[in-house]
Amino acid sequence: MTTAHDVEQIESANAAGLTPVVFIHGLWLLPSSWDRWATVFAEAGFAPVAPGWPDDPETVAEANAHPEVFANKTVGQVADHYEELIGKLVKKPVVVGHSFGGLLTQILAGRGLSAVSVAIDPAPFRGVLPLPISALRASSAVLGNPANRHRAVPLTYDQFRYAFANAVTEEEAKELYETYAVPAAGAPLFQAAAANLNPWTEAKVDTDNPARGPLLIISGEKDHTVPWSIANASYKQQKDNQAVTEIVEIPGRGHALTIDSGWREVADTALAFVKRFA
């Protein structure tokens, strides 16, 4: 479902005549998590567009009051949703995504839909083999109960602290949790976990498409949810593409690197890559 807000952003980007930058959030966050990034990219001469996943509420308060709207959203459904939105843009966009948004970014790039892509701590796809203990622990809030596949699952503060905010102070972790954390669909985590066992999985990426375009993968050094071994395995799957493929590790950063107090360093790293090609 395309919201009025999404349509407004797309129309504004088209009217501006600038290269759009589509920001894709991951699980347990909303599009508002990109607000500061949107400002930075707008100041750099791009047209930011931060659409939600299908049925995303507008606010964190609304999301926590109605968690059921997140349930049963699959990777394929969300990827098709973003493809439809990108199809409404006049110019081929830059796509920037975090976590499952980073996986979606690579899926869309594999469909030839993006001019440049930045995948930040991206969730794994079929062919990415490492399963570190920290990643299993970070996703255990969902994967620990098979019934969660069809549910929306919130994180407790302690779960958020481990999965997202392990590299910041306790005070900042609590602030991030209260400001940004919302329930998330369980289905994508089950899809990613089983991707290498399911030849028909939706959690797959066409890494060979010559129209993929330049791709940067950003990894947070201290990320529990998508540690370096997963990010680097994604890079290895991508690097044989004829387009530029790069990976960079941001020291001292966890999975909350797009929203915590060090977000600007990550945004500037992404922007520098994008400006080389767009």
- What's residue 3's pLDDT? 85
What pTM, to 2 d.p., does this model score? Answer: 0.98
- Please tell me the predicted confidence (pLDDT) of residue 1: 66
Superfamily of domain 4-277: Alpha/Beta hydrolase fold, catalytic domain (3.40.50.1820)
- List the chain domain ranges: 4-277
Q: Which two tokens stand for residue 273?
A: 């890559």
Query: In the Cβ-directed half-sphere of 87, how many Cα atoms lie within 13 Å?
Result: 8
pLDDT, block means (10 residues), the chain with 278 residues? 88 97 98 98 98 96 96 97 97 98 98 98 96 94 96 97 98 98 97 95 97 98 98 98 98 98 98 97
* pLDDT value for 2: 77
